[in-house]
Structures are given as structure tokens and as C-alpha cells.
């Protein structure tokens, strides 16, 4: 073997050893008692938090505020089912878009141009109405 091929083989061997050493280090860290204890602590902590949240949710559900919130949600659901909410959202969205378009026309100086052609009101109403 030439000196050059020995260096290449040695470099290759060192990279292989590095890979094996990294894998062994990761295995050791994963199997360590400290990591296992940390995992156990996290799992127990999450279980405690979940139990506390569940207990508080049940308590809130039976409280006057919880009952009022439940009633409000039921009222909202009925308004959604009846289409009332959709009409209100559509109306408010239309107003917002008209306002934005009016303000943008003012900024760009189009208000004067549009008023001479009869489009100052936005033209959107006639299309949507």
C-alpha cells in the first residue's frame, strides 16, 4: 500500500469509527436512567395537568357562568342554522369592503374620476343587491 492509499484507508476507518461512536453515544443517552426518569416526570406532570383541566372544566360546566355560556352557544347555533348569522356577516363584510374601496379611491384620487361616471357609490351594491 502506498502512503496515499494508507491515508485514505485511515480516513475512511476514522469516519466509520466516528459513526459507530456517535450511534453508541446516542444509544447510551437514550437508555440512561436520567432520560428515563425525565420521561417519567414529564408523563406524570402531563397526567396531573390533564386531570386538573378536566376537573376545572367539569366545575365550570356546572357553574352559572358555564351554564350561561352554554345557553349563549346554543342561541348562536340556532342563529347560524337559521341563516341570521350568514346574513349579518355578509352585510358587515359588504359594508367593510365598500368602506375600504371608498378610502382607497380617496387615496389614489379616483373619487373625482368615479363621481363623474356615476361609480362613486362603489358599484358593488348594484351587483350584490
**pLDDT at position 128 over 60:** no
60 Cβ contact partners less than 8 Å away, ≥ 6 residues apart: 66
Return the closest-CA partner of residue 120 out of 18, 107, 106. 106
To the nearest whole number, what is the mean pLDDT of the chain? 86
Per-residue pLDDT tens over the stretch 5-64: 777 778 999 999 999 999 999 999 999 999 999 999 999 999 999 999 999 999 999 999
Name the DSSP letter for residue 16. H
Return the closest-CA partner of residue 125 out of 95, 83, 84. 95
**pLDDT at site 1:** 62
pTM over 0.85: no
Which stretches of 1-48 are assigned E, i.e. beta strand?
none
Domain boundaries, the chain: 82-129
d(CA 121, CA 101): 10
d(CA 124, CA 107): 19
Largest CA distance in the chain: 93
Q: Which three cell numbers stand for residue 43?
A: 408523563
Distances from the Cα of 42 to the Cαs of 30, 37, 47, in angstroms?
A: 15, 9, 9
**pLDDT at site 7:** 73
Amino acid at each position: 500500500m502506498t502512503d496515499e492509499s494508507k491515508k485514505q484507508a485511515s480516513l475512511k476507518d476514522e469516519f466509520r469509527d466516528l459513526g459507530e461512536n456517535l450511534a453508541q453515544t446516542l444509544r447510551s443517552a437514550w437508555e440512561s436512567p436520567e432520560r428515563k426518569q425525565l420521561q417519567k416526570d414529564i408523563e406524570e406532570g402531563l397526567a396531573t395537568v390533564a386531570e386538573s383541566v378536566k376537573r376545572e372544566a367539569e366545575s365550570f360546566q356546572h357553574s352559572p357562568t358555564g351554564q350561561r355560556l352554554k345557553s349563549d352557544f346554543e342561541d348562536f347555533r340556532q342563529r347560524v342554522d337559521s341563516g341570521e348569522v350568514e346574513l349579518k356577516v355578509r352585510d358587515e363584510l359588504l359594508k367593510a369592503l365598500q368602506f375600504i374601496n371608498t378610502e382607497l379611491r380617496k387615496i389614489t384620487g379616483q373619487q373625482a374620476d368615479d363621481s363623474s361616471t356615476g361609480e362613486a357609490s362603489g358599484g358593488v351594491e348594484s351587483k350584490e343587491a
